[in-house]
Amino acid sequence: MAVVQISRIQHRRGLATDLPQLAAGELGWSVDDQRLYIGNGTVADGAPAIGNTEIVTTGSSSFTTALSYVYKGYLGSSTPIATGASGDFTRTAQQKLDDFVSVKDFGALGDGSTADVTAIQRALDELYCDTDKDDERARRVLYFPAGDYRIAASLKIPPFANIRGEGAGKTVIVQSASAPVAVFQDDEKQLYGSIGGSSATTPTKINIEGITFQNGSSYGGVSIDNATNVRFERCEFKGAYVAGGTDNTNSKGVTVRSTTALPCRDIIFDACMFTKFARLADISQDVTSVKFTNCDFTTALYGVIVGDELDGSTSGSTIGPKDVKVTNSQFTTIGLNGIRVKAQSGAADGTIGEVRNFVSMANFFAEDVGTNFDTVDSTVNISPAIQFDTDECTSIADFFDATQDRHHEINPIPEVQGIGYHTRAIKQATLNDNQTATRLLLLPALAGKSIKISYKMERSGNLRSGTFCISASTSGVAYHDDFIESDGDVGVTLTADISALDSTAGNETVEVKYATVDDSSAVTMNFVVTEMV
């Protein structure tokens, strides 16, 4: 006989608070929160425990108890590892997922069109400023998946923020308002001028990695305000400056803002890129220990400018930057100075502070640095790649491509000018046999320099060690060669004079020359040039 109807089986249903112990395999439906359960059965039947097991439905989206997670190790279930003292340590899926926090969990989209500033700020504030701000467990890494995040107000970065993107040019935050892309705040959400009020925790222990901060207007990238222990790694700061543009003190890739009570301290930029701001990095207010290492500076009027805003009276601008270092970095397409350390009137008599201990070391300055965006062979509009206008400034083993690339009949572009100490990398030269007044090297003589060439010469088994000292100005030169020789005379005479080369007034050049006696062999000379400017 054909089956025409199967009787309907009715399972338990009701409110969640009324859920009883279900029989083995019996279903129970909680109508108020739309969740489904099945009875475990008894231990005698083989169940691990008496109770009800929730079946995952859309009502179980929180995963608080619905799913469990046990770490298995890299071999998985085939050879699991022990996660607990006795047996496995089990966590819910919700707990596991909460190990990872994304701005998309707070509503940011990063689709290049949606206004994301509110969602991103909510994520920053909830993690680092609000209810659990004093609990270390709340200070999670905030992840920015690759995307184009559009904002129309400055993001406010709080203390203990740990922000990670997927890399420069991949995670991009784009500012459309007339404001920096990001500024700093304390844990009470107070901004510069009020930071630290009401005993708030000031910005500190902040780490930002793998993000492009891009400003579409003539404003800044990131303003580091009243902050200590800040690190940017593999970030990009990108503006709207076009090569050939004028100076704009609003257009700063990064800057620091201090107050007398709360100066900035311990700021690190590692493997970061700075591009298209009038000033790529402006470190002018009171700050101690700023380090740029392995960075790239390109397309700007100034690369790194230090001490420009000191005035001796404005809060945060009285002492000046101290211990600023730029190392292993490169500068390209910079109109004026790749590095500029400025002096302030009144600093000499102690009425205001001044930059202290600035070091530039092992940096590369391309041929288009200091040419005012002109060609490298131009004889006008030439600025030093490094301009030191105050004490305690040093350049060590920096390389200046413009000096090397200019035609030998054009004056070298000035490399380091002002008040500073510049040590070039070691070189080796071959001094040909039987020469008279032959050029060894050219050195800029702008504004006067004290030059010391430490050298070693070898010829036919004879060795000379010495120091060739030059005192040079635009009007003349004096020199002295002090050396000792072993075995015999190397047969070399060093001289120096001033050459006009391209006849540009004020661009006179020191020309170091050598003469060698006829010995049927060349001389090998290793030397290091040190300039006090």
Q: What is the SS3 assignment for 199?
A: helix
Whether 269 is covered by a domain: the verdict is yes
Mean pLDDT, residues 348-359 taken together: 72
Lowest mean pLDDT, pick from 104-118, 158-172, 488-502: 488-502
Instruction: Identify the residue with better confidence: 288 or 473.
Output: 288
Between CA 14 and CA 285 the distance in angstroms is: 68
109 and 59 in a single domain? The answer is no
236 and 306 in a single domain? The answer is yes
208 and 282 in a single domain? The answer is yes
User: Which residue, 301, 316, 350, sits at the end of a domain?
Assistant: 350
Lowest mean pLDDT, pick from 330-334, 343-347, 445-449: 343-347
Which H helix or E strand runs over 126? Answer: helix 117-128
What is the model's pTM?
0.82
Q: How far is CA 321 from the centre of its chain?
A: 17
Where residue 95 falls (left for φ over 0; alpha for ψ -120 to 50; beta otherwise) is: alpha
pLDDT the model gives residue 123 = 96
92 and 124 in a single domain? The answer is no
59 and 113 in a single domain? The answer is no
138 and 56 in a single domain? The answer is no
Backbone angles phi, psi at 459, to 5 degrees: -155, 120
% of the chain with per-residue pLDDT over 90 = 59
Where residue 229 falls (left for φ over 0; alpha for ψ -120 to 50; beta otherwise) is: left
pLDDT the model gives residue 137 = 86
Lowest mean pLDDT, pick from 359-363, 413-417, 421-425: 413-417
pLDDT the model gives residue 446 = 64
In the chain, the number of structural domains is: 3
Between CA 158 and CA 124 the distance in angstroms is: 7
- 493: β partners: 515
pLDDT the model gives residue 408 = 57
Instruction: Identify the residue with better confidence: 274 or 412.
Output: 274
* Domain span at 450: 427-532
Q: Please, which pLDDT band fits residue 6 given cuts at 50, 70 and 90?
A: very low
Which H helix or E strand runs over 484? Answer: strand 477-486
pLDDT the model gives residue 287 = 96
Please give the structure tokens belonging to residue 514: 């050598």
Residue 82 confidence (pLDDT) above 70: yes
pLDDT the model gives residue 409 = 58
CATH number at residue 473: 2.60.40
259 and 324 in a single domain? The answer is yes
Mean pLDDT, residues 128-143 taken together: 88
Whether 390 is covered by a domain: the verdict is no
pLDDT the model gives residue 66 = 56
CATH number at residue 154: 2.160.20.10
